Structure 1
């Protein structure tokens, strides 16, 4: 009997020791687009699949995409680089280059604008704007045998997490299924999955059952013009790709490709550690299309939990020693119409007068410079660019009048100049304590950022009319858009939860430490997070 007890104790201690000291054979880095810390915690008690497994690992429920520009491209650029947008150069989904000769002055973050015919809406995809290496890129430098794979629902997710040296980079390019860079041949695996993709899309979907936890959310919210959201089940007609994209079906297909890539390439089954990044984009499309608090979002999180559970079970059956990190590129905010029905009467939509087109017209009339575009921007918040064709005196006048107008507007929290932001040191310390100016500095690139940064007050949704497109969004400097969960899991890793704030830029050095890959501190903004509960550390000695 004593011998059996001793053996059991030995086995119990051996598993955590392996998880702490032996590098995993495969890193699985998952980003769930628009999976806010609020959304994570709201449904946490109902998890029974993959998300439940991850909550049994090391949990940081208060992670931060610490910068101000909480958009998809900047957020994904932080996760596997260890660097904030000020270092990655990915300051937004779209910025403006007013010196370019092409008619379209907007530059998409994953676009090679030098390619003939490329523009921000119909572009040649490229990682050229990412200024720093990803973890996969660093792993390949250390050991060229490392395989780096990136798959996602969006090109910017796959590209920013995989980096320019990934062996395989795939994203959903439309109804045709998964695509890659221009000129990349489609391997048999992807061709086979695209056939399954087409077959699934060709069939109608009757919708998903409503889980018990979603019942209380089952009521319509009117958003104007006879349109409402809040009661959907993701029923769609055959061939409706737009509905497919904004549903759990999209994530299911992305995980099918990820699992297939792991199996066909034998990732995690050779001497070196491999890495696969997975961008699950459906939660974002659902949040934009229906909001974050209706039956649609509730069903999406339930299906995400189930699909992740099946994915991890498949890896378990293959006997792979893998480590997982799951986080998000940004948070999200529900539509103001539902917020107003649920105890938040102060919620509102942005004044159309704050759109760049309206601002340009108003400032033109005020300065006598009407008849041309004075102010460029991607929407009624974020970076604003002043026309470079103006004289120095005209530019100064336009800037002064724009700042005066913005700072007097009741929906504007702050309007910072480029000089103001540039003068602030790169922020440090707990991300929850940063000022708005520090958050802005973490998103600032002197060559790409605008002349003025417009930040709206909290609870102002930067969508003027919800009947003409998306109903809800993100992108603000407020915590509902900045806070995301950061979850680490590996078999044998002892569970603990740290409620204090950490950053998504801490993920890369934490994973690098797990595989013994040195990363110079001067090259990144993040720090290694110790994943060992109690004594001992998974981080290198300081």
Structure 2
């Protein structure tokens, strides 16, 4: 489907671009040449709260972005289900997840009962030759075009690359037809997806030398996570979480490369390598490089956001970005960088409760079990009909396959009144009902109702049958050694993210009114003078 979409888009955008260039030629004043390189940096789980908390402590790259960039302190992911895949899908498409078709990191196929990864592409293979990570992936499930697609359609010489610690970070930023979308996989280095008819070695060629050097570095100097700041060491403590003890210190008990600051440091080295090896920003037209940094998310999940682990991550990320900005200054064609996040995050609830937020706690599954038992008996079912799905519950048989109508609708109607009075549940609605509402205007994202936020996440057949929202700082599950903290809610600690535009020798400026991640793509399109299709975001004026 996306191949036909791209072809139609190419014709539309080329016509629009020609018109725009003709209008420019009739103007009285020449416009400055657009930068030859766009760099989009997405820091996974980098909330506005975390940005503001450490802002005065940074000394390198994040300090430069904060002092020299155009900083929007109230950036928003406008939707309600704030996960990695949908959040990344908004940044360079200008569209909400309801339009990108990516409501969550995964969902249940109602016909088969099988879990579907957001970027699953069974027709593809992985270039490193193993079926690892999330299996065969690609951009097939993304229903919107992105900035890289617009560039390719209007300027065929443009090159588009992306690199990340996660496949969903790289692929979402790269779009449908990039020159390369790479992510780290265990024991190998950077890999990518291979479509039918493509050669794996050729797909990996742009990062082959980097991978060899990376493996040598890992062999010669194995990953080590140590303290670099005494103020981080001072945050050490022990926390009891669901009966187990988290010894919060550096290095963590289960220290590993892909959940440490080293992951982002290597990702930024890979980004700099692509700039050098592919001569990005040195050609006749604008190139695009997406960089998704995954370590903040993995550290936040495993250790929370207020301990020594995150403290060290913030300082080491600052240092690594400092080196990267220095490299960008040498791009002769000029560069503009935007930094944002796919979502925010909160700390683990046990620490929140001790620090003055007694409402923070882990939810009990007992009330839902009681509702399930009632529904199973009332409708004479073989299995409990309400089962966990992304952002809510699916109504299914024991194999997670969708129940037939009218039974499915009757169960939903019977379940909703009971779910709405459950402790800690503040919103419950049928997906089908939610989809009957038009997409809300999100120009004032802080004013959106809870229902409107969840509507911006809802996708037919992919979202759960019943969409639910817990009260703020109420979470479920969690275990030491796995995930103890998370995100995914429509609350502002998960929705508010920094949005910073930066260019070398730029003048620092702050703006307090809210803007949205969906505004980034049309803004960058305007900066490099290409047309964009009709999108929900709008172009922002940069630097006065």
* Structure 1 segment 209-220 matched on structure 2, within 5 A: 209-220=227-238
Number of the residue aligned with 1:447:
461
SS of 2:71's partner is strand
For 1:198 and 1:121, how far apart are their aligned partners in 2?
19
Measured at CA, do residues 166 and 229 of structure 1 come closer, stay the same or move farther in structure 2, by a change above 3 Å? farther
Measured at CA, do residues 383 and 184 of structure 1 come closer, stay the same or move farther in structure 2, by a change above 3 Å? farther
Number of the residue aligned with 1:50:
61
TM-score (norm 1): 0.87
SS of 1:178's partner is strand
Cα deviation code 1:275-302 (max 9, x no counterpart):
0000100000000010111000010011
Return the match for 1:150 from 153, 157, 162. 162
SS of 2:423's partner is coil
* Structure 1 segment 342-491 matched on structure 2, within 5 A: 342-353=355-366, 358=369, 361-372=372-383, 374-378=385-389, 381-382=391-392, 384-386=394-396, 390-428=403-441, 429-461=443-475, 463-467=476-480, 469-491=482-504
Number of the residue aligned with 1:5:
none
Return the match for 1:176 from 185, 188, 202. 188
Measured at CA, do residues 266 and 468 of structure 1 come closer, stay the same or move farther in structure 2, by a change above 3 Å? closer
Deviation at 1:248, TM superposition (A): 0.5
For 1:257 and 1:30, how far apart are their aligned partners in 2?
13
Deviation at 1:349, TM superposition (A): 0.9
For 1:121 and 1:359, how far apart are their aligned partners in 2?
36
Name the stretch that deviates more: 162-171 or 487-496: 487-496
For 1:342 and 1:378, how far apart are their aligned partners in 2?
32
Number of the residue aligned with 1:167:
179
Number of the residue aligned with 2:23:
none
Measured at CA, do residues 273 and 391 of structure 1 come closer, stay the same or move farther in structure 2, by a change above 3 Å? closer
Cα deviation code 1:480-513 (max 9, x no counterpart):
0001000000124332111121110000011011
TM-score (norm 2): 0.86
Contact map agreement 2:150 2:531 (CA 8 A) in 1: no
Provide the alpha-carbon RMSD of the alignment. 2.6
Number of the residue aligned with 2:9:
none
Answering whether residue 97 of structure 2 is matched by residue 85 of structure 1, we say: yes
For 2:90 and 2:319, how far apart are their aligned partners in 1?
27
Name the stretch that deviates more: 219-228 or 507-516: 219-228
Deviation at 1:377, TM superposition (A): 3.1
* Structure 1 segment 34-433 matched on structure 2, within 5 A: 34-55=45-66, 56-100=68-112, 105-113=114-122, 122-182=134-194, 183-185=199-201, 187-188=204-205, 190-202=207-219, 203-233=221-251, 243-353=256-366, 358=369, 361-372=372-383, 374-378=385-389, 381-382=391-392, 384-386=394-396, 390-428=403-441, 429-433=443-447
Contact map agreement 1:189 1:260 (CA 8 A) in 2: no
Number of the residue aligned with 1:511:
524
SS of 1:150's partner is strand
Structure 1: unaligned runs, 5 residues or longer = 1-17, 237-241, 534-542
Deviation at 1:441, TM superposition (A): 1.2
Give aligned pairs, total.
502
Number of the residue aligned with 1:12:
none
Structure 2: unaligned runs, 5 residues or longer = 1-28
Name the stretch that deviates more: 213-222 or 64-73: 213-222
Measured at CA, do residues 158 and 360 of structure 1 come closer, stay the same or move farther in structure 2, by a change above 3 Å? farther
Number of the residue aligned with 1:6:
none
